[in-house]
Amino acid sequence: MSKLSLFLIFICVSGYAQQDSIPMKHFRFTPLPVIYYSPETRLGFGALLAANFETSKALDTTTKKSYAQTYFLYTINKQYDWGTMMRMYTPGNKYIVYGKFNYTFFPEYYYGIETEDPESKKDTIQYNRIGADVRLYKLLAKHFFAGIAGRYNRITNIDGGQGHFIEDKPPGYNDYWVLGVAPAFTIETRDNYVYPRKGFYLEALYYIYPTWSRKTYRFQSFKLDIRQYYPVNLFSTIDVVAFQFLANVNTGHVPFKDMADIGGSYTMRGYYTGFYRYNNLYAFQAEFRTQLWWRLGLALWAGGALTPEKWYTFFDHTIKPNAGIGLRIMMNRKDRLNVRVDQGFGKKGQSGFYLDIAEAY
């Protein structure tokens, strides 16, 4: 079942029609109030603050623009979701620093693991989650970076009722935490982080998760993210065709919330997050983005995913297709920062409505 969220975008008419951002030296802030609703949580509200900024003391064309955002949501059911992320480029792009943190207490639907019939496993669960993802890259040669990554995921106070979740007892059903480290490599030639129009991006990480205690799991995870952007000029000067390929390959004893899943606001929009949950995932998506009038833009996309039992047996299960259409509202013209309103569709009657800031990839 899709979630319904609504950003109060009248702020773009009352405030941003006159200025794109709040000036503060090299920082450009974009604040947004949020109203949120879903059947699991009921009414919620909160706020989001995004910031585009430069790290160079003197503005230059070499150092890429950095980006950060934070948000907080609270529902009348006393549930909450706080998250923050940052991707910072130091002067001369000598280092890339990425960090993502979140703390949540939200219910969600459980659709089983490693099944092609998710509806038969549908259940409602809730839990507390603390997550952290940190990566540090150093420039080796032009556009080539290498570094190290660390990831922490803690799932506690799981309440799965007496339904399919308790019957299945998936790995991690009785609370768990994992802490892994990874060598990391990336190639970065994108012209813009929040709205790339040209360039190439590749990131490869190989996480090793040791057994730290009885509440942890031992497994390995390889993640590959490849993106390519081609500028076109069909309707405006910022039109772009964007492609992305994702691979998430896991071996060992993988807890259910660390498996490769489909869905959400970024990968395979149109599916409920975790509708399909396997150890391995290969996904491809293509998207056309254009500016139509004033601050309003349009996006169209299509994609598909494979969920093999082993990393090399690609067609063990049927292809999971998706497609969708989205509205774009440009809140910051200087950095091309959009509010993203997407409606996606998948198989088995799946659909999803998403409202976020910046592009999906």
Beta strands in 253-333 (DSSP E): 260-261, 277-278, 280-293, 296-306, 320-332
Contact 288, 305 (CB under 8 A): no
Rounded to 5°, angle at Cα 255 from 149 and 159: 120
pLDDT of residue 355: 83
Predicted confidence (pLDDT) at residue 16 exceeds the cutoff of 90: no
68: domain range?
Answer: 4-357
Q: Of 261, 248, 198, whose CA–CA distance to 227 is shortest?
A: 198
CATH classification at residue 143: 2.40.160.50
For the segment 157-181, the average pLDDT, to the nearest whole number, is 93
Predicted confidence (pLDDT) at residue 7 exceeds the cutoff of 60: no
For the segment 66-86, the average pLDDT, to the nearest whole number, is 92
Predicted confidence (pLDDT) at residue 337 exceeds the cutoff of 70: yes
DSSP class per residue in 37-96 = EETTTEEEEEEEEEEEE--SSS--SSSPPEEEEEEEEEETTS-EEEEEEEEEE-GGG-EE
What average pLDDT does the structure give for the chain?
90
What does pTM read for this prediction? 0.89
pLDDT of residue 354: 87
The tally of domains found in the chain comes to 1
Name the pLDDT band for 359 (thresholds 50, 70, 90). Answer: very high
